[in-house]
């Protein structure tokens, strides 16, 4: 009976970890898609890829999981660039990727 309880607790922890990872990946996918749309670039492969994970203290002092995701985008369909974002939980803490072009000067 005691071993069944341990198995159930471990299974619950694994499920919670998996669920939090999926929530972070879905949030990263939404952020990547929105960033590409607002910058006017093409979001390639329609997905994000997990690139890293580590324990990090949040602003409240508690340890949490910080996940890094990467995605690819293209300015004209013939090039590929890599974007990167870091999430603590589902909160974006770092982003490197496409930005909206402003005041572009054409040189002839």
Per-residue pLDDT tens over the stretch 56-96: 988 888 999 999 999 999 998 889 999 999 999 889 999 99
Instruction: Please indicate, yes or no, if residue 30 is contained in any of the structural domains.
Output: yes
Q: What is the pLDDT of residue 12?
A: 96
Asked whether residue 43 is domain-assigned, the answer is yes
Global confidence as pTM: 0.81
Residue 8's pLDDT is 95
Residue 24 inside a domain? The answer is yes
**Structural domains counted in the chain:** 1
CB burial class (10 A; 0-12, 13-18, 19+) of residue 98? Answer: buried
> What does the alpha-carbon distance between residue 65 and residue 88 come to, in Å, rounded to a whole number?
6
36 Cβ partners below 8 Å, 6+ apart? 42, 43, 73, 97, 98
Please, which pLDDT band fits residue 2 given cuts at 50, 70 and 90?
confident
Any domain includes 104: no
Q: Is residue 107 part of a domain?
A: no
Position 79 in a domain: yes
Q: What is the pLDDT of residue 13?
A: 95
Report pLDDT digits (tens) over 14-63: 999 999 999 999 999 999 999 999 999 999 999 999 999 999 988 888 99
* Residue range 9-15: mean pLDDT, rounded: 96
Is position 102 within any domain?
A: no
Tell me the residue range of the domain where 60 lies.
Answer: 2-96
Please, are residues 20 and 89 in contact by the beta-carbon 8 Å criterion?
Answer: yes
Q: Which pLDDT score, from 0 to 100, does residue 106 have? A: 61
In a domain, 90, yes or no: yes
């Amino acid at each position: 009976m005691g071993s069944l309880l341990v198995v159930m607790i471990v299974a619950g922890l694994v499920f919670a970890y998996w669920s939090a990872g999926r929530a972070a990946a879905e949030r990263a996918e939404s952020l990547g898609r929105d960033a590409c749309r607002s910058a006017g670039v093409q979001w390639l492969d329609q997905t994000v890829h997990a690139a890293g994970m580590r324990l990090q203290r949040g602003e409240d002092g508690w340890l949490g999981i910080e996940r890094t995701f990467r995605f690819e985008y293209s300015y004209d369909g013939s090039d590929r660039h890599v974007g990167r974002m870091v999430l603590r939980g589902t909160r974006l803490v770092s982003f490197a990727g496409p930005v909206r072009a402003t005041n572009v000067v054409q040189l002839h």
